[in-house]
Amino acid sequence: MTFIKKPIFRHPSLPKNDLGLTYRDYEGLVSTLCAGCGHDSITASIVQSCYDLSLPAHKIAKLSGIGCSSKTTNYFLNQSHGFNTVHGRMPSVATGANLANRDLIYIGVSGDGDTASIGLGQYCHAIRRQLNVTYIVENNGTYGLTKGQFSATNDKKSKNKKGADNPFGAIDLALMAIELGAGFVARSFSGDKEQLVPLIKKAIAYNGFSLIDVISPCVTFNNHPHSTKSYDYIREHNTAMGELDFVPEKENIQAKYSEGESVDVTLHDGNSINLQKLDGNYDPRDQDKAVSILRKYRGEGKVVTGLLYINEDANEMHETLKTSTTPLNAIPMNDLCPGIDELDKLNKSYT
Amino acid sequence: MMKPTDIKNPSYFHKVVDCQWACPAHTPVPEYIRLIAQRKYTEAYMVNWESNVFPGVLGRTCDRPCEPACRRVRVEETPVAICRLKRAAADNKSDITEHLPDIPKTKNGKKIALIGGGPASLTVARDLMPLGYDCTIYEKDPKAGGLMRTNIPSFRLPEAVIDEEVDTILDFGVIKKFNQEVTSLKDILDQKYDAIFVGTGAPKGKDLNIKNRYEAEAIENIHIGIDWLTSVAFKHVDKIGKKVVVIGGGNTAMDCCRSSLRLGGLDVKVTVRSPKSDMKASDWEIEEAELEGVPILDNHSPKEFVIENGKLKGVLFEKMIAEYDANGKRKLISSGEDPVLLECDDVILAIGQENAFPWVEKDIGIEFNEWGQPTVDKITFQSSLPNVFFGGDAAWGPENIIWAVAHGHQAAISINNFCENIDLNERPDPITNLLSQKMGIHEWSYPNDISNSNRFAVPHTDHSHALSSIEVEVELGYDEKLALEESKRCLNCDIQTVFTENLCIECDACVDICPVDCINFIENDTEESLRLKLKVPALNTDQDLYISDNLKTGRIMAKDEDMCLHCGLCAERCPTGAWDMQKFTYIEAHTEESKILNYVE
């Protein structure tokens, strides 16, 4: 961590977005994580994405559980709503918040412990319901806050800092999300903002459950030569499935990629995603293909990154439940709670 | 492709210390500001004294080229009050005797004549006396100090401050030939000095040859600014008329109008030919004059002195308009309005000054150019006569004290080389050093938690008291508390960000924390396109890009030195120590060994 406050001075030529804000207006407090933590780069990527999308901070809610990852919501979007929840329970709180106010943008930040261990059940059901949240897992394969035990996402062949073997296999959160019906599944690396920022922007624009599993090296406990989640290992084994370009609706002029080399995916809100295919036949709309490629590459020891799967037709939770299109806090009290007479009428209608 | 930066080149990091780079004498500014912050005023004073010889004088009067250069103005409105902090060091110091150089009792047998007793000559004496030279100063006035004494009024610079700093040097045993105007260089040459230094300044005030200038009725009431100020300084003049017109827009004009207010002037005006924005005076001098109630009438070009009833009635002015051609070159043309008469009892002409050498014989080997300026080498200060050196305003015309000091230091090196038969172009190297400031994981031995405050104003004497006498100093200077607060504004630009490629794991932590977005990890390119591709384009080409060698991913680190706040957060957030904060010391070489490191360590 750092003892001094970050100076208030900023570069006078910083560009401004449509709201007249600089990216620094989307920052939070200075991080108290270890120097060089991958999580800080993810924080910076979230800041950059919200700035790029010109999102008003008061229309965003950031939620997290417990752990190094979950501390990071304090380090971005200082002006947004926030809820630092109980360990592994971020999805429930996000579900409740989202049911009450569907107009906010929900960014959930969790870690591999918070999601793949204590919160695994919550994670599954949030996906199953297609909760409209951008769910970012800051995945470092280790329990950093408790001094570096293996987490459930740590690869079997990886060792800990002292050289002990990991006896158990890893849970692949992306593969699991595809199986459970998530509409948007991506994997990225904290050290590659050029890939991560467009993914976050796309995930925020996506209407439904979007997972970004970001491999984020723990510099203190899991950045050694026998780790499979170190800066060096990821850089050597990274296999990007495609190069993404997020095209906001207002700029939706025909893309720079030639037909056959790219896939255009139009989102519900009119924005679109352009994926330039690096791996010949890869089409992220094919669920079976996504699953098989993830399995295949995992067997080869590669780390597949990029947009892995997208379902542009999935219904999010509110659509499925046919809830009110107006957020609950905007419905007049009389409509929201019509009183005892209406309740009596309703009850009588069942007799 | 850009090549990795060679940080071993002493100019590279020196340039990043903008204030020190801008100072003609290369005073280590951040170093003395940190000493002030530690209340080590004597040490702060000595760091200055070694560099610029007159910290008390300069702390009140310097033209402060360091302040517009201050990095702080790139991120906020006002620079650190570097100049006034210098004064705080001078005001609060203890006795400096023990820190002064030892003057050898046994002389080296070389005799040097210094013509003119101003800051340039005094600096030469300061640098040569400790080496055993015999120095003789010739001065036409009864006291040494030159324009510091004669042209800067006491309400800006009290006599006691000049006396103290001038006497420090004279007390080294300089032979004083005061009240002796040199009227022949040949006479001096005939006295067989080993070398002669000419530091006679630019003592000739420009005249204004317009109608009635030399009429007997008016001549008593038309004064040449610098001569008038000299007479005031030596108390030969102690009053002026009630209505005064000062013609001219430089700092001398400001000193003349403010002096007039203190010597009986009630209605004092300044006129300038050009628009006010083109005035030569420093902004703060103009501001002070206006605060004291002196109106500045711009676009007024003097046409004639008006005489009525056998005495001066006033000055007639033509109103002007500035026109700029396509190249931005200014031309003043008449506005066609009726001329304006400004009535007055006295007129002071402060329209410039020049050096003049009527006392240098034309046949003794000193070359002059078509404008009557001596031919002087820019590096060695040697004239066409090998044993005669020029410096200060005498060399290339009016500059200011700090330049005169810088010239003096260099001329002393040359004179020493000359007397020791060393090639004059063999200049001694500066002392440079890089030293890590790391004390702990997040602790540095410099104060990186800088103040966000705006510049603190210097307290002034109450207005009516200030005008009551020319001896009352207007600025009171910072008290200790204010000096401490102001010193915290310094960004410590001499504490450099030093990058070690092979330690970097490219985690981006430094990029993310940098408050001013100056760090980039990027594909190498030509400087021109790289500058445009940075996170925030680096458009100030006066400032370098710090370029690393290739990193593991094939990218390079490119840092724009322009905006860096030297806050050290990049180094604090770096998990591998690839970034380190290292103090860059740059000490300009003088004739004798520097003691600056003794004061700071």
pLDDT of B494-543, one tens digit each?
999 999 999 999 999 999 999 999 999 999 999 999 999 999 999 999 99
- Report DSSP letters for B261-328, one per residue: HHTT-SEEEEE-SS-GGG--S-HHHHHHHHHTT--EE-SEEEEEEEEETTEEEEEEEEEEEEEE-TT-
Say yes or no: B303 and B281 in one domain: yes
A12 to B574: CB separation less than 8 angstroms, yes or no: no
* Amino acid occupying residue B43: E
Strand partners for B341:
B316
**The pLDDT value given to residue A274:** 55
If we measure between CA atoms, which residue out of A59, A70, A186 comes closest to residue A118? A70
Nearest to B572 among A2, A7, A191 (CB): A2
pLDDT in tens, A202-227: 999 999 999 999 999 999 999 999 99
Considering the domain boundaries, does residue B134 fall inside one? yes
| Residue A36 to residue B575, Cβ atoms within 8 A | yes
- For residue A266, what are the β-bridge partners? A272
What is the predicted pLDDT for the residue at A157? 85
A31: distance to nearest CA of chain B, Å?
Answer: 9
Name the nearest CA neighbour of B204 among B349, B347, B64. B349
Pairwise CB contact (< 8 Å): B518 & A13: no
Q: Which amino acid is at B376?
A: V
Q: A75 lies in a domain?
A: yes
Mutate to test the interface with B, among A3, A14, A215 (most CBs of B within 10 A): A3
- Joined together, the tokens standing for residue B478 give 């910072």
pLDDT for residue A256 = 41
Structural domain ending residue among the three candidates B298, B318, B352: B352
Distance between A44 CA and the closest CA of chain B, angstroms: 6
Same domain, B243 and B363: no
Q: Are B568 and B444 in contact (CB under 8 A)?
A: yes
Residues pairing with B297 in the sheet: B271
A266 domain-assigned: yes
The residues on B that touch A, with CB distances below 8 Å, are: 74-76, 442-443, 448-450, 452, 505-509, 511-513, 515-518, 536-537, 539, 552-553, 563, 565, 567, 569, 572-576
Q: Do A44 and B517 touch (CB under 8 A)?
A: no
Q: How far is B556 from chain A (nearest CA, A)?
A: 15
Q: Over 50: is that where the pLDDT of B290 sits?
A: yes
Examine residue B26 and state whether it is found in any structural domain, yes or no: no
- The minimum CA-CA distance between A4 and chain B, rounded to whole Å, is 6
The CATH number assigned to the domain holding B140 equals 3.50.50.60
Q: In total, how many domains does chain B have?
A: 3
Residue B337 has which token pair?
Answer: 């309005």
Q: Looking at the structure, do residues B173 and B220 belong to the same domain, yes or no?
A: no
In chain B, which residues have their Cβ closer than 8 Å to the Cβ of A52?
none
Residues B435 and B577 in one domain: yes
- pLDDT value at residue A262: 53
Is A120 a domain residue? yes
Does residue A238 or residue B232 have the better pLDDT?
A: B232
Give the closest residue to A199 by CA, choosing from A92, A284, A300: A284
Q: How far is CA B443 from CA A1, A4, B413, B440, in A?
A: 11, 10, 41, 5
**B507 vs A38: CB contact, 8 Å cut-off?**
yes
Q: Say yes or no for a CB contact (<8 Å) between B508 and A41.
A: yes
The whole-number pLDDT of residue A308 equals 92
Number of domains forming the structure of chain A = 1
| Chain B residues within 8 A of A7 when measuring between CB atoms | 450, 452, 515, 565, 567
* Geometric angle at alpha carbon A167, from A162 and A171, rounded to 5°: 110
Is it the case that residue A282 has pLDDT exceeding 80? no
| Chain A environment of B449 (Cβ under 8 Å) | 3-5
Q: What pLDDT is recorded for position A247?
A: 58
Residue A84 falls inside a structural domain? yes
Q: Are B278 and B379 in a shared domain?
A: no
Residue of A7, A44, A219 lying closest to B567 (CB–CB): A7
Residues of A with CB under 8 A from a CB of B: 1-15, 24, 30-31, 34-38, 40-41, 43-44, 190-191, 193, 217, 219, 223, 231-232, 235
Is A4 part of a structural domain of the chain? no
Q: How far apart are CA B568 and CA B449, in angstroms?
A: 9
Shortest CA distance from A31: residue in chain B: B513
Q: How far is A43 from chain B (nearest CA, A)?
A: 9
pLDDT one-digit tens code per residue, B553-590: 999 999 999 999 999 999 999 999 999 999 999 999 99
Q: Which residues of B touch A40 (CB under 8 A)?
A: 508-509, 512-513, 573
A37/B515 Cβ within 8 A: no
CB contact under 8 A, A191 and B506: yes
Residue in B552, B567, B575 nearest the CB of A219: B575
- Which residue of B443, B536, B574 is in closest CB contact with A13? B536
pLDDT band at residue B52 under the 50/70/90 scheme:
very high
B442: distance to nearest CA of chain A, Å? Answer: 6
Evaluate whether residue B547 is within a structural domain. Answer: yes
Domain that holds residue B487: 1-19+431-601
Report yes or no: B536 and A14 within 8 Å, Cβ to Cβ: yes
Same domain as B347, residue B359: no
A with B: how many residue pairs have Cβ under 8 Å apart? Answer: 102
Q: Domain check: are B508 and B592 in the same one?
A: yes
Q: Where residue A297 sits, what CATH number does that domain have? A: 3.40.50.970
Contact (CB<8Å) A4/B508: no
Q: How far is B548 from chain A (nearest CA, A)?
A: 19
Is A36 close to B509, i.e. CB distance below 8 A? yes
Q: Do B328 and B386 fall into the same domain? A: no
Contacts of A41 in chain B (CB under 8 A): 507-509, 512
Query: Is B515 within 8 Å of A10 when comparing Cβ atoms?
Result: yes
Tens of pLDDT, residue by residue over B175-230, are: 999 999 999 999 999 999 999 999 999 989 999 999 999 998 899 999 999 999 99
Same domain, B339 and B363: no
Mark yes or no for CB contact B509/A14 under 8 Å.
no
User: Measured between CA atoms, how close is A211 to chain B, in angstroms?
Assistant: 23
Indicate the angle between helix axes A120-128 and A90-100, nearest 10 degrees: 30
Is residue A15 assigned to a domain?
A: no
Looking at the structure, tell me whether residues B452 and B599 fall in a common domain: yes
Q: Inspect the interface and report whether the beta carbons of B572 and A35 lie closer than 8 Å.
A: yes
C-alpha count within 13 angstroms, C-beta hemisphere, residue B582: 20
Q: Which of chain B's residues have a Cβ under 8 Å away from the Cβ of A2?
A: 442, 513, 569, 572-573
pLDDT band for A263, please (50, 70, 90 cuts): low
Q: What is the pLDDT of residues B306-320, one digit of tens each?
A: 999 999 999 999 999
In chain B, whose CA is at the least distance from the CA of A16? Answer: B536
Residue A328 lies in a domain: no
Res A259: pLDDT:
40
CB-nearest partner of A44 from B512, B518, B567: B512
Higher pLDDT among residues A221 and A243, named by residue: A221
Mean pLDDT of chain B: 95
Span A96-118, average pLDDT: 97
pLDDT band at A257 (very low <50, low <70, confident <90, very high): very low
Among B302, B336, B352, residue at a domain's last position: B352
Distance between A158 CA and the closest CA of chain B, angstroms? 20
Which residues span the domain enclosing A42? Answer: 23-321
Residue B147 belongs to some domain of the structure: yes
Distance from CA of B283 to the nearest CA of A (A): 24
Residue B76 lies in a domain: no
State the DSSP string of B87-146: HHHHHH----GGGSPPPPSS--S-EEEEES-SHHHHHHHHHHGGGT-EEEEE-SSSSS-T
Is the predicted pLDDT of residue B233 greater than 80, yes or no? Answer: yes
* In-domain check, residue B252: yes
3-state secondary structure of A43: helix
Q: How far is B517 from chain A (nearest CA, A)?
A: 7
Query: Both B222 and B318 in a single domain?
Result: yes
Instruction: Examine the fold and report which residue of B334, B352, B370 is the final residue of a domain before the chain moves on.
Output: B352
Instruction: Kindly tell me if the per-residue pLDDT of A260 is higher than 60.
Output: no
Kindly state whether residue A2 falls inside one of the protein's structural domains: no
pLDDT at residue B486 greater than cutoff 90:
yes
Residues B439 and B584 in one domain: yes
Per-residue pLDDT tens digits for B159-174: 999 999 999 999 999 9
Triad B244, B246, B252: Cα angle to 5°: 130
CA distances from A120 to A182, A210, A291, B588 (A): 15, 16, 20, 66
